[in-house]
Amino acid sequence: MRAVICSSFKGIGALEFGEFADPVPGPGQILIDVHAAAISYMDTLMVAGRYQMKPALPFVPGSDAAGVVLAVGDGAQRVRVGDRVACSHWHGGMAERMVAPEWGVAKLPDTVGFEIGSTVRYAYGTAHYALTRAQLRPGETVFVSGAAGGVGMAAVDVARQMGAKVIAGTSSAAKGEAARKQGAAHAIDYSCEPVRDRLLELTQGRGVDVYFDNVGGSLFGTVSRVMAWGGRILPIGFAGGEIPSLAMNLPLLKNYSVVGCYWAAWIEREPQESQVADEQLFTAVAQGILRPQVSEVLPLSSFAEGLQRIARRQVTARIVLRAKPRHA
């Protein structure tokens, strides 16, 4: 099969596009004929050896895909050959075929295309799980950093649908406008605006109820000082390149919490609960309640262009790689 191949942890420039052995589903696994694969910031870390887990070399990067079930391993019962599905796993998505564990596969509604379908499980799953863990209530204020990225846009969408007032934090005015179109009530351009002052202004001095943090770094330090009483910080990722620390007197004085919300670990530990969440999310997408955004669709062979743009933080929403012609 044709695939993107990572033979060393030397980053995007060392990746190759060529022939790779077809994967074979083992017990409890599903083989998918990939039509579309969404790429993410996690993929850029994985191929550079900077993610918290390292696959055995060589491997095919890509955690999110959508396509049609080709084969079902022993013991797998939730899907059948021919079903349209979305799937996620640590790697394997940037190829013509992918193997995923059964708990990483969700049926795709007929009205949801493969390109949109490939973007939902990781980004929307993360957002939904985190905001549910935070026990977000209607009327609360959520500040989403990195709000124009894939997970950020999903968080804006899910928080909006849950009845929250969303403030988007972005690195440019254009990205802020994209977040507003997704449902954010306000946007703060932290490349040029005083974040602390703007958050206090927009919350009438109360501070932020829920902080959905995709960026980390110094921004985390700023927002950790403007949390509302009883607030919740959700550490999601560290796209800014720095894992931050928290002065523990801050949650003490404001009675706020830091809530762990690692979706990928949760779906492995609680597969039945995650399957229910998948069904809810895809139903909401099919009904137009949630609105995943794809900024661009590229052929699979143009993987490096997409990954480089994500690494440079030049992407709004998701870039999807097409592994099959649109009519397939």
* pLDDT score of 324: 83
Q: Could you count the other beta carbons within 10 Å of the beta carbon of residue 83?
A: 16
pLDDT tens profile 243-265: 999 999 999 999 999 999 999 99
Q: Could you count the other beta carbons within 10 Å of the beta carbon of residue 159?
A: 28
Residue 37 is assigned to a structural domain of this protein = yes
Residue 38 has pLDDT above 80, yes or no: yes
- The number of folded domains in the chain is 2
For residue 27, with 0-12 CB atoms within 10 Å meaning exposed, 13-18 middle and 19 or more buried, which class applies? exposed
* Whether residue 128 sits in one domain with residue 114: no
Residue 273 is assigned to a structural domain of this protein = no
Residues with Cβ within 8 Å of 50's Cβ and at least 6 positions away in sequence, in order, are none
* pLDDT score of 130: 98
What's the whole-number mean pLDDT along residues 15-33?
97
* Whether residue 143 sits in one domain with residue 53: no
What's the whole-number mean pLDDT along residues 139-148?
98
* pLDDT score of 52: 84
Tell me the residue range of the domain where 188 lies: 123-263
- DSSP of 77-141: -S--TT-EEEEE-SS--SBSEEEEEGGGEEEPPTTS-HHHHTTHHHHHHHHHHHHHHTT--TT-E
pLDDT tens profile 44-84: 999 999 988 899 999 999 999 999 999 999 999 999 999 99
Residue 278 is assigned to a structural domain of this protein = no
Q: What are the residues facing 235 on neighbouring strands?
A: 213
Half-sphere exposure at residue 150, Cβ-oriented, CA atoms within 13 angstroms:
27
Residues with Cβ within 8 Å of 27's Cβ and at least 6 positions away in sequence, in order, are 73, 74, 75, 76
Residue 326 has pLDDT above 70, yes or no: no
Residue 20 is assigned to a structural domain of this protein = yes
pLDDT tens profile 289-298: 999 999 999 9
pLDDT tens profile 201-244: 999 999 999 999 999 999 999 999 999 999 999 999 998 888 99
